[in-house]
Amino acid sequence: MRQPNWKAPFVLSALLLVSGSFAYWLQFSHKPKKERADALLKKPIPVAEDRQIRSIRLRDAGSSITLVKAKEADTWSITEPVSLPADPDHVGDLLSNLKSMSATETVDLSEDSPEQRARLIEEYGLGQKRREAAGNESIEVTLDNGKTFTAWFGEPHPVGDKQFVGSMEDGKLNEKTVFLIGNFYKTNVLGKNIAWYRDKKLFSFTREGIEGFTLAGSSGKVTGTKKDGLWTVNGLEGDYERIETLLSSLAQARAKDFPDPSAMKGLKPSLKLSWQGSAGNGEIEIMTRSQKGSQVTTYILKSPLLKETVEVDGNLHVQLDRSLPYLRRNLLLTQGEKIALTEFKLEGKPYPQGIVFSFDGKTWTQKSGEPKLDSGKVRELLNLMSDAHSPSIVSPAPKVEGEIAILTLGDAKKADQHRFEIYTSKGKAWARIPGSPRNESFELESKLGKAFPFNPDSWKLK
């Protein structure tokens, strides 16, 4: 019997496998590039990466704004109509809009006669006269390689919320394709003035460089001084976090708008704040004006550090207009003090023997006293003491009603580092510090007052 020749089929199979693999590679390895190329065909400004963009010129109703990227850094500035730093967030929004600006549909004019094509381009509002008119609306982008793309906005489409847009590359209009672009892009790109695109950060210093301040607001005058990393306000221990938050709001202040000087008419001073330290000295004044018959209030800020008066958001005024009770320490414990605690002691008439808990780094354990109490309640109370700000600090201290419970807290350095007298008065719970020269009491937040064991039954082990 004649042996079959397997050589030819094997070679043919190998060739088919190789050619099939090549076809698969050719189709799918290039698919992302093809898809990206198809996507760019729907863009009047076919830019895939915003880092390629060197400058952007926005023309709207006869005015122009030009933004230019610095060569050395990814920062932007306005060069037209005036030279100003640009707002990085708003420039970022602009770049995102340009990158995503894509046609919902395109009008193909490639098969029309030159005459018909010219007539349609005029009809769509994209003719040369319209483009050269003072009120033309366009976006011009220049890339790092010098190439320019321009999107011209013509007439609105008769159906739908979109507009006819023409595209120009290096000064030559694409006469074969007209894009239909949603009005969203025109509104969010061309519908902004120079105040929108200019940098709105007012100051260059940081809160870390401020070592003292004087605030005159609606609640009176507060003077703060920082020494060895700790704040005092009007000679009292300050609330570090709240003071640092106030100073951060100042350092990060941003303009809302840049009004005409005539906007100063009818303004009333409402807040003054001055500061000093390694960051330098400075001051601001915020003035307000309420519109008649409206709840709208305008806030205007001026400072010797600024070249112009600016409008600011009302939230800045809220963040800066703080009272002494708000800025002085009104927490019974800070988070750091709570973490350092190792001793917890309850005394007073409800606890004639005294109740002592110790912390071993993991759990609180009752060392002495009767009755036996729930150690989980100790942790809960300390958490509330370090979280709950006092709603008010009253002087003279409210009179005691009922029995006083004494709470003593200690750390590795001192067994009685913190000492409080806790009592009730007029339906509220209060804490006062024995030996303090100020006859005052801290009102306890409702949840903290309810958590305190005025009666040991509330903490007994079940």
pLDDT tens digits, 28-56: 443 334 444 455 688 999 887 778 899 99
The answer to whether residue 7 scores a pLDDT higher than 80 is: no
Two tokens at 113? Answer: 């006669």
Q: Among 173, 197, 221, which residue terminates a domain?
A: 197
Two tokens at 462? Answer: 């079940």
- Distance between CA atoms of 338 and 328, rounded to whole angstroms? 19
Please choose, from the candidates 117, 329, 279, 330, the residue with its C-alpha nearest in 3D space to the C-alpha of residue 126: 117
Put the strands of the sheet holding 297-302 in their side by side order.
236-237, 230-233, 220-227, 212-217, 268-276, 282-290, 297-302, 310-312
Residues 452 and 400 placed together within one structural domain of the fold: yes
Place of tokens 């002494």: 324
Residues 307 and 355 placed together within one structural domain of the fold: no
CB-based contacts of 411, cutoff 8 Å, min separation 6: 337, 340, 341, 342, 343, 417
Residues 112 and 229 placed together within one structural domain of the fold: no
Share of the chain above pLDDT 90, in %: 72
Residues 346 and 452 placed together within one structural domain of the fold: yes
Residues 296 and 343 placed together within one structural domain of the fold: no
Two tokens at 392? Answer: 């008010």
Q: Would you state the pLDDT for residue 47?
A: 82
Q: Would you state the pLDDT for residue 159?
A: 83
Range of the domain at 374: 335-459
Q: Would you state the pLDDT for residue 36?
A: 42
Q: Which value, to the nearest 10 degrees, does the dihedral of the CA atoms of residues 175, 179, 185, 186 take?
A: 50
pLDDT digits (tens, 9 = 90+) for 447-459: 999 999 998 999 9
The answer to the question of residue 25 being in a domain is no
Residues 238 and 139 placed together within one structural domain of the fold: no
Residues 159 and 252 placed together within one structural domain of the fold: no
Lowest mean pLDDT among 57-66, 232-241, 361-370: 57-66
Average confidence (pLDDT) over 92-98: 91
Two tokens at 252? Answer: 């990060």
Residue 284, beta-bridge partner list: 273
Its pTM surpasses 0.75: no
H/E segment holding residue 108: strand 105-108
Q: For residue 201, what is the DSSP state?
A: B
Q: Would you state the pLDDT for residue 32?
A: 38
Q: For residue 238, what is the DSSP state?
A: B
The answer to whether residue 22 scores a pLDDT higher than 50 is: no
The answer to whether residue 374 scores a pLDDT higher than 90 is: yes
Looking at beta carbons, which pairs linking 96-101 to residues 24 or more positions away fall under 8 Å?
96/50, 97/185, 97/188, 97/189, 98/45, 98/47, 98/50, 98/53, 98/56, 98/139, 98/141, 98/189, 99/47, 99/48, 99/49, 99/50, 101/43, 101/44, 101/45, 101/151, 101/181, 101/185, 101/189
Number of domains in the chain: 3
Q: Would you state the pLDDT for residue 8?
A: 55
The answer to whether residue 214 scores a pLDDT higher than 50 is: yes
Q: Would you state the pLDDT for residue 288?
A: 92
Residues 290 and 152 placed together within one structural domain of the fold: no
Residues 320 and 355 placed together within one structural domain of the fold: no
Residues 79 and 170 placed together within one structural domain of the fold: yes
Rounded alpha-carbon distances, angstroms, from residue 1 to 4, 303, 461? 9, 108, 99
The answer to whether residue 261 scores a pLDDT higher than 90 is: no
pLDDT digits (tens, 9 = 90+) for 287-320: 998 877 677 889 999 999 999 999 999 999 999 9
CATH code of the domain containing 379: 2.60.40
- Residue length of the chain: 462
Two tokens at 131? Answer: 């483009």
pLDDT digits (tens, 9 = 90+) for 153-195: 999 998 878 999 999 999 999 999 999 999 888 888 888 889 8
Residues 410 and 449 placed together within one structural domain of the fold: yes
The answer to the question of residue 15 being in a domain is no
CA 312 to chain centre: 15
